[in-house]
Amino acid sequence: MATPFDKWIRIARSGADAMAQKAQSVGLATAGSMARRLLGQPRPDSGWADWEHGVTHRLLEVLCDYDDALPDPEAVHAVEATRNFVDTLPPRRRSQLHDLLAVIEAGPLVLAPDGQRLAFTSLPDSAAHTYIRGWSESSIPQRRAVFHALKSVCMMGYWSQEQTWSPIGFDPGDHHLDDPRNIGDDDE
Partner 1 sequence: MSNGVLSARDPDRPESIDVDAVVVGLGAGGSMVLRELARAGLDVLGLEMGSWYRPEEASPNEAEMLPRLFQESGARATEDFSVSILQGKGVGGSTLHNTNLCKRLPNAVLDHWADRFGLDWATGESLQRDFETVEDLLNVHRVPDHRVNRNNSIIESGLDELGWDGGRLKHNRHPEACKQSGFCELGCPNDGKQNAAKVLIPQALEAGATIWTEARADQITTRDGRATGVCGTSVDPIDGSPGSKDRDFTIRADVVCAAASATGSAALIRRSDVPDPHRLAGTNLHMHPGATVVGLYDRDVESWSGNPQSVECTEFLDHSDPTSGGVWLVAGAAHPAGASTFLPGFGRSHGRMMQSYPKIASIIAMLHDQSAGRVHPADDGGLHIDYSLHEPDYRELARGLRGAGRILFAGGAREVIVPTTPALRASSPGDLDGIDASDLAPLSPALAAVHPMSTLWMGSDPEESVVDPRGQHHQVDGLWVADGSLFPTSFGGPPQIPIYTMGLRVGRAILQEYSSTMSANR
Residue closer to partner 1 by CB (options 115, 140) is 140
Q: In whole angstroms, what separates CA 28 from the centre of its chain? A: 14
- Smallest separation, CB 147 to partner 1 (Å): 8
- Quote the Cα angle for 73-37-78, to 5°: 10
Task: Report the sign of the C-alpha dihedral through residues 31, 86, 146, 12, in that order.
Answer: positive
Looking at the chain, the number of H-run helices and the number of E-run strands are: 7, 0
Residue 120: how many CB atoms within 10 A of its CB? 24
- Smallest separation, CB 165 to partner 1 (Å): 6
Residue closer to partner 1 by CB (options 40, 68) is 68
Contacts for 102 with CB less than 8 Å, ≥ 6 apart: 32, 33, 35, 36, 39, 41, 52
Residue closer to partner 1 by CB (options 41, 72) is 72
- Smallest separation, CB 18 to partner 1 (Å): 7
- Smallest separation, CB 141 to partner 1 (Å): 4
Of 156, 111, 153, 125, the C-alpha closest to 61 is 125
- Smallest separation, CB 106 to partner 1 (Å): 19
Residue closer to partner 1 by CB (options 51, 158) is 158
Residue closer to partner 1 by CB (options 64, 123) is 64
